[in-house]
Structures are given as C-alpha cells and as structure tokens.
Chains A and B, each alone.
Chain A
Amino acid sequence: MPSISRDEVAHLARLARLAVTEDELDLFAGQLDVILQSVARVGEVASQDVPPTSHAVPLTNVFREDVVRPGLTQQQALSGAPAAEDGRFRVPRILGEEQ
C-alpha cells in the first residue's frame, strides 16, 4: 500500500511554496494517504489495455493558425502589477540562483 511520510509532505509544501504548520503536516499526511490509497484501488481494477486518462474529451490535434493577434499594450500589461519600472514588471530581490 502506498503511503506518504510527514517529511515528504514537508518537501512538497516547500516546492509548492506553502507555509504548512507542524500540526498540518500530520493532518495532510493522513489525508494524502487516503487519496493515494484510493487511487491505488482504482489502479488495481485498470488492466493493461486501459490507457491512463488525462483528458476527458476525445480530441487530438487542436491547432491554431500561425497568425499574429493583437495582445495587450504595455500599459495594459503592467496595469495590475504591484510595481513596474521602465516598462517592466518589478519584482523583489530573487534569492537563490539563476534558473
């Protein structure tokens, strides 16, 4: 049976930039465990000839013509930004490394 540890929950929370308290770690580990076990139950039923479903609609190859469409002006683009400078979005100091 799958299970998820408290440490794994803490790691996922960090990756998702979620501030999770010590108590919540225990709570979520238990809840996520239930979800994982439920999914595993479904997996037991699915045989090899049932492909995993990622999309509910049976569509493929939905493409767009390569034609330019008007977007936003610089002013519109920046209108919701908490801070802007020289036509660019201004963000606080980036900690850590260049991606």
Chain B
Amino acid sequence: MTAVAELMDYDEVLERFDPVLGLEVHVELNTNTKMFCGCANVFGGEPNTNVCPTCLGMPGALPVVNGTAVESAIRIGLALNCEIAQWCRFARKNYFYPDMPKNFQTSQYDEPIAFNGHLDVLLDDGEVFRVDIERAHMEEDTGKSLHVGGATGRIHGAEHSLLDYNRAGVPLIEIVTKPLVGTGARAPEVARAYVSALRDLLRALGVSDVRMDQGSLRCDANVSLMPKGTEVFGTRTETKNVNSLRSVERAVRYEMTRHAAVLAGGGTIRQETRHFDESTGSTSSGRAKETAEDYRYFPEPDLVPIAPAREWVEQLAATLPELPWQRRQRIQAEWNLTDLELRDLVNADALDIVAATVDAGAPPAEARSWWVSYLSQKANATGTELTALPITPAQVAKVIALVAEGSLTNKLAREVVDGVLAGEGEPEQVVEQRGLKVVSDDSALLAAIDEALAAQPDVAEKIRGGKVAAAGAIVGAVMKATKGQADAKRVRELIISRCES
C-alpha cells in the first residue's frame, strides 16, 4: 500500500490552478444480442452460458456486426448533436489480458461513427454548461474477472483468476468529451451533471439500461491542472470505473486536491490510471498509461466498412424521442412552473414520477406537492431513493382523487399514504381497514356539535353573540370526537348555522 497522499485545501487549489476535465463514458447497449455474434446480451446469468466461438475468440470464428447496435450508435450520435461519419471502419486494439480472449478488442480508432457534438448540461443553480463531444465510437465489452486468493478480491495478492465471458462482446459505445476548460470551482459538479444528463438522454433514447450500479454506464474521469495564467494543459490522470454520480464528483475533487499538492511541492504528475475507492473517496495508483502506438491499431480485416446512407441517418433522426431538456421545457409550460420549481423537481429526481402521477389523473400541483414534500420527507427519513418508495404514481393519484371528492381530508390522506408505504395494500383498502373515511353524514356531525356546544356553554354564547372566531374551539372538539375524520370546513359551517337558528 502506498502512503496517504498529500492533499491541498480545495479553495487554495482554485486560487492557484485551473482544472481541465475530460470524461469518457462507456455505455452498454440493451440490444438482444452481442456486437459481433448472436449470443444473448443479458446481465448476470450462469457464467459462460452466453458464449460462442466468436466471442470466445476461437480460431476461424468470424464476427458479423449487429445492425441494431449500429442504429443505436447513430441515434446516440444524433442526440449528442454529432456529425455521423459517411464511411468508417472498425479497428483492432491489441493488448493481452485474460478478460479479452481474442487478445484484441474490436473498437474504432481514427474513424468513429459520430464526432463533433455537444451536450448542454443543467447545473444545480440553473446555469447551463455546454460540454463539447469529441466522438462516440462503437466497440465491445470485455469479460469479467474474479480474483481468487487475495484479501479484498482485488488483483493484488490474488493466487489465480477466474473468467466469465458472458459480457465479452456486449455492444459498447464510448462517448468522449473534448477537454473541458473554464469550469473552475465547479469542475466536480460539471462532471457529475454531465454524466447525469447523459444518463437521462440515453434512457430517453431507450438504447441502454444505464445502470451505473450494474456497470451498464461507466465513467472514467481525466483530470489535470494548469497553473493560473497559463494555458498549457498539465499531465492528466485517468480515474477508472467510477460507479455512481456521487463518486464522479468526489473522484474529480479528490484528484484536483492531490494534483495540486504534488505540483505545489515541486513534484510531477505521472500519467497513469487510478482506482477510485468508494469507501474512502480516494484514488490509488494504477498502471502507467500506454501510448496509442502501443496498441498497434489497424483496420479490422474481418469486418467491412460502415457507410451509413444519408437517407438512413435522416430516418433515424426522425426516431429520436422527445429529449430530456425538450420534455422539461414542455412540462414547465404545461404545469406552469417557475424555473426554481422545475429545478427542485429535477434535483429531487422527481420529474418522471410526478409526470407518471399526472398521467394517472392527478392535477400537476397536487402530484408535485405530494412527491416533493411529504413523500420526499418519508424517503429521506428511511434513507431510500424517492423512486424506490413502495408506493406507485397510480396509488398517489388515487389518494389525491379521494381528497378531491371529499372522501379524505389532507390529514387522513397522509395516514392513507403511510398505510400504503407500510404495505397495507391499495389506498381504498387502507381507508377501509383503518376506518379513515371522512364523516360526511351531517346528522352524525350535528350530534357531535350539539354535544360540544353543551359542554362549552360560554363559547356557544359567544358564537351566538356574533363572535364567529370562537367557533374554532368547537371545531377542535368535534374533530377530536370524530378522530379527525370530519371535514373541518363543513363542521364550521354547521356550527354557525346551528348557533344562528
């Protein structure tokens, strides 16, 4: 193990240096089959059961390109405002590692299918940062290694390794940004916001599961620093496989503070890959980065070039769905939201679930209020994601409808929601089982009112004398008597008419 790295205070880093970021995102496509063979593309499964001679790299086996994967690559390129290549080839990237049985990865080198695009990224305060996209290219995923005999499952200290090639050959799109300069203090936030925006985009396109926890979306973060006032990029490090949005932010921030301490101490940064440790939020040294020459790329002789006809590209452009930012603008207009209200919804990751609640028949304002306030509190209290709460948009819409028709008061509605969250069934069942229906029978209410008035004759006198505000005490008593199941407004009306008669 290496010694704990020296870190510079973040504010001091920003006084002395400007960060430069470069983000590489790998996304696994959700095609039925792999990139170059007909094996099923599924997550998990018994090891080495979705394999064939092609993805096992057996001599004589020949690859054939998955047309749907090419379509997805072009659609991703178009959604990222990229140009689509008129003609491009696959290339062999040569290196030896057991997770790649062919001893080369079929990738693209100097002829990516999509290039020169951009993605506008919404930051927490509403500012938009444009991330320029260098390229998006097609390649294949590797197998999965299991290191046996080491203390932590890591490669160090392992006695041998076990390989599962179910993932080998799964279609992968690598999306690479241009160097991002001018982010300053917001570099970590920009990195997270970019990956988040890209994830939303890919999800809207329906081309990937985009599950960072399962590795179908992975981010490598390149970070370098240049002293203030200079414009020559420093040496970068590449932190690999940072597997959550929060980790992206932490990894960038950590590397900035580590680089700064090394550079300020007169040292130099080694160009290398680094491993991010989720538990400590720190990175550790990996291998020295090969140069591109060392991969000895050359055009893949077993696959013919791809030359997407312009008509095909136009057809695919017409299949692009409403993109996340267009959808946000539409929803803002339809629901009549301020910028701040919209941003709160997006930041709470509640937009989709509120929209689903609206689709289930609830008015936008009520749907938003339930998810952003009461249910968000519940989610925070239990430490779960809002979307992971055991209540569906349809159930929330049902509760809202019951309030609207007068069957529930807001207070009772919260109890119904608590019941649904506790696994007591559908809202109607909870109402039934907990006996939460509003007492709407006037005669029952009048009986309770008469009782309350009789119990507090002085208050009754005041109301009769015209001091209507005094009715509050009676309302309170009636609500207590009906265990909160009466509509307070109706009770008030009845009290006043009772005292006037």
When chains A and B are docked, how far (Å) is the Cα of A90 from the Cα of B98? 10
Task: Choose among B67, B160, B161, B296 the residue that contacts A63 (Cβ–Cβ < 8 A).
Answer: B67
A54 partner residues in chain B, CB cutoff 8 A: 89, 299, 301, 305
At the interface, yes or no: B489 with Cβ under 8 Å from chain A? no
Task: Choose among A57, A68, A73 the residue that contacts B49 (Cβ–Cβ < 8 A).
Answer: A73
At the interface, yes or no: A92 with Cβ under 8 Å from chain B? yes
Task: Choose among B68, B286, B296, B307 the residue that contacts A61 (Cβ–Cβ < 8 A).
Answer: B307
At the interface, yes or no: A94 with Cβ under 8 Å from chain B? yes
Judge whether B51 and A72 touch: CB under 8 Å: yes
Judge whether A99 and B49 touch: CB under 8 Å: no
Q: 1/0 per position for A57-84, CB-CB distance to B under 8 A?
A: 1011111111111011110011000000
Judge whether A66 and B32 touch: CB under 8 Å: yes
Closest partner residue, chain A, to B150 (CB atom) = A93
B163 partner residues in chain A, CB cutoff 8 A: 88-91
At the interface, yes or no: B65 with Cβ under 8 Å from chain A? yes
Judge whether B304 and A61 touch: CB under 8 Å: yes
Judge whether B304 and A89 touch: CB under 8 Å: no
Closest partner residue, chain B, to A54 (CB atom) = B299
Judge whether A69 and B305 touch: CB under 8 Å: no
When chains A and B are docked, how far (Å) is the Cα of A51 from the Cα of B43? 42
B165 partner residues in chain A, CB cutoff 8 A: 77, 89
Q: 1/0 per position for A14-52, CB-CB distance to B under 8 A?
A: 011100000000000000000000000000000000000
Question: Measured between C-beta atoms, what is the minimum distance from B159 to chain A in Å?
Answer: 6
When chains A and B are docked, how far (Å) is the Cα of A66 from the Cα of B66? 6
At the interface, yes or no: B162 with Cβ under 8 Å from chain A? yes
Given A55-B304, A73-B49, A74-B48: A68 in contact with B32 (beta carbons within 8 A): yes
Judge whether B48 and A64 touch: CB under 8 Å: no
Of the candidates A57, A92, A96, A97, the one having the most CB atoms from chain B within 10 angstroms of its own CB is A97
At the interface, yes or no: B398 with Cβ under 8 Å from chain A? no
Judge whether B307 and A99 touch: CB under 8 Å: no
B64 partner residues in chain A, CB cutoff 8 A: 62-64
Question: Measured between C-beta atoms, what is the minimum distance from B348 to chain A in Å?
Answer: 36
A97 partner residues in chain B, CB cutoff 8 A: 155, 273, 286-287
Question: Measured between C-beta atoms, what is the minimum distance from A28 to chain B in Å?
Answer: 16
Judge whether A91 and B161 touch: CB under 8 Å: yes
At the interface, yes or no: B335 with Cβ under 8 Å from chain A? no
At the interface, yes or no: B50 with Cβ under 8 Å from chain A? yes
When chains A and B are docked, how far (Å) is the Cα of A91 from the Cα of B296? 25
Closest partner residue, chain A, to B51 (CB atom) = A77
Task: Choose among A15, A66, A72, A74 the residue that contacts B31 (Cβ–Cβ < 8 A).
Answer: A66
Question: Measured between C-beta atoms, what is the minimum distance from B254 to chain A in Å?
Answer: 19
Task: Choose among A71, A73, A94 the residue that contacts B161 (Cβ–Cβ < 8 A).
Answer: A94
Given A66-B31, A67-B38, A88-B163: A60 in contact with B50 (beta carbons within 8 A): no
Judge whether A77 and B39 touch: CB under 8 Å: no
A99 partner residues in chain B, CB cutoff 8 A: 95, 97, 99, 142, 287
When chains A and B are docked, how far (Å) is the Cα of A87 from the Cα of B47? 6
Secondary structure at the B interface, as helix, strand, loop or mixed, is loop
Q: How large is the interface on A (under 10, 10 to 19, 20 to 34, 35 or more residues)?
A: 35 or more
Judge whether A98 and B286 touch: CB under 8 Å: yes
Question: Measured between C-beta atoms, what is the minimum distance from B409 to chain A in Å?
Answer: 53
At the interface, yes or no: B275 with Cβ under 8 Å from chain A? yes
When chains A and B are docked, how far (Å) is the Cα of A60 from the Cα of B87? 9
B294 partner residues in chain A, CB cutoff 8 A: 15
B307 partner residues in chain A, CB cutoff 8 A: 60-61
Closest partner residue, chain A, to B241 (CB atom) = A98
Question: Measured between C-beta atoms, what is the minimum distance from B315 to chain A in Å?
Answer: 14
B301 partner residues in chain A, CB cutoff 8 A: 54-55
Task: Choose among B48, B68, B94 the residue that contacts A88 (Cβ–Cβ < 8 A).
Answer: B48
When chains A and B are docked, how far (Å) is the Cα of A94 from the Cα of B149? 12
B145 partner residues in chain A, CB cutoff 8 A: 94
Question: Measured between C-beta atoms, what is the minimum distance from B280 to chain A in Å?
Answer: 18
Q: 1/0 per position for B276-300, CB-CB distance to A under 8 A?
A: 0000000000110000001010010
When chains A and B are docked, how far (Å) is the Cα of A47 from the Cα of B307? 23
Judge whether A60 and B160 touch: CB under 8 Å: no
When chains A and B are docked, how far (Å) is the Cα of A77 from the Cα of B50? 10
Judge whether B304 and A93 touch: CB under 8 Å: no
Judge whether A90 and B67 touch: CB under 8 Å: no
B154 partner residues in chain A, CB cutoff 8 A: 98
Task: Choose among B67, B97, B158 the residue that contacts A64 (Cβ–Cβ < 8 A).
Answer: B67
B89 partner residues in chain A, CB cutoff 8 A: 54
A98 partner residues in chain B, CB cutoff 8 A: 154-155, 240, 275, 286-287
When chains A and B are docked, how far (Å) is the Cα of A73 from the Cα of B166? 11
Given A61-B304, A94-B155: A89 in contact with B51 (beta carbons within 8 A): no
Question: Measured between C-beta atoms, what is the minimum distance from A9 to chain B in Å?
Answer: 13
Closest partner residue, chain A, to B148 (CB atom) = A85
3 smallest CB-CB distances across A and B, nearest first, come from: A69-B38, A63-B67, A71-B52
Instruction: Sample 24 A-B pairs with CB under 8 A, ordered by A number.
Output: A16-B94, A17-B96, A61-B304, A61-B307, A62-B303, A63-B65, A63-B67, A63-B70, A64-B33, A65-B67, A68-B33, A71-B55, A72-B56, A78-B48, A86-B162, A88-B146, A88-B163, A89-B98, A90-B160, A91-B161, A91-B163, A97-B286, A97-B287, A98-B154
**B residues whose Cβ falls under 8 Å from a Cβ of A:** 31-33, 37-40, 46-53, 55-56, 64-70, 87, 89, 94-99, 142, 145-148, 154-155, 158-165, 240, 273, 275, 286-287, 294, 296, 299, 301, 303-308
